[in-house]
Amino acid sequence: MTKIQLNRIAMARSGDKGEGSNAGIMARSDAAYAFLKAELTEEVVKAHMAAINTGPVTRYAADNMRVLNFILHNSLGGGGSASLKTDAQGKTHGLAVLRMEMDVPQDVIDATPEPA
């Protein structure tokens, strides 16, 4: 196992979704997707984003795109238009997830191209 930032094996895009946001996490390889599908659970993301998201977290998987889509149900500080936060639309929440540190098997890292 090697400790890495999630950014090493995944990419992300996020945006607002009602009172919350969604963060689509895209694995950079099939090996990374198999690992993340097992390890990057709703509980793990909820704990990592606890200071940003006070609501539950729902995960959906799209195998064809190697995507795990996380819905953070209450992450905008009171809804898009009423929020006073800088990131009232959750534009940076995907990058926040990518900052997560994870212990990843070396063979998964070796099978995954490095970020540019």
Partner 1 sequence: MGTKEKVLIANGQGFWGDSILGPIRLVNEGPLDYLTLDYLAEVTLSIMQKLRSRDPKMGYATDFVKLIDRVLPQLMEKDIKVIANAGGVNPHACKDALLEVAAKHGIKGLKIAIVEGDDILDDLDNLMAKGEAFANMDTGAPLTDVRDTVSSANIYLGAFPIAEALDAGAQIVLTGRGTDPGLVLGPMIHEFGWKKDDFDLLAAGTIAGHMVECGAQCTGGNYTDWRRIPDMAMIGYPIVEAKPDGSFTITKHENTGGLIDVSTITHQLCYEMGDPENYLGPDCCADFTSVKIEQDGKDRVRVSGAVGSPPPETLKVSISYHEGWKASGQLTICGPDALDKAKLCAQIVWDRLAFDGADYSAEERFEEFVGSGVCHEGIAGGTNYDPVEVVLRMGVRGPDRKKVDRFGPELVPLVTSGPPGVTGFAGGRPKATEVIGFWPALLHHKYVSTNVEVFES
Binding site for partner 1 (CB under 8 A): 7, 11-19, 22, 24, 26, 48-52, 60-67, 69, 71, 77, 79-82, 84-87, 91-92, 94-96, 98-100, 115-116
Instruction: Considering the complex, state which of residue 64 and residue 106 has its C-beta at the smaller distance from partner 1.
Output: 64
Buried b or exposed e, range 34-73, using 16+ CB within 10 angstroms: ebbeeebeeebbbebbeebbeeebebeeeeeebbbbbbbb
Q: Are 32 and 38 in contact (CB under 8 A)?
A: no
Kindly state the smallest distance separating residue 103's Cβ from partner 1, in Å. 18
Q: Tokens 């694995």 belong to which residue?
A: 27
What 3-state DSSP class applies to 36?
A: helix
Instruction: Considering the complex, state which of residue 105 and residue 115 has its C-beta at the smaller distance from partner 1.
Output: 115
Instruction: Considering the complex, state which of residue 60 and residue 105 has its C-beta at the smaller distance from partner 1.
Output: 60
Kindly state the smallest distance separating residue 92's Cβ from partner 1, in Å. 4
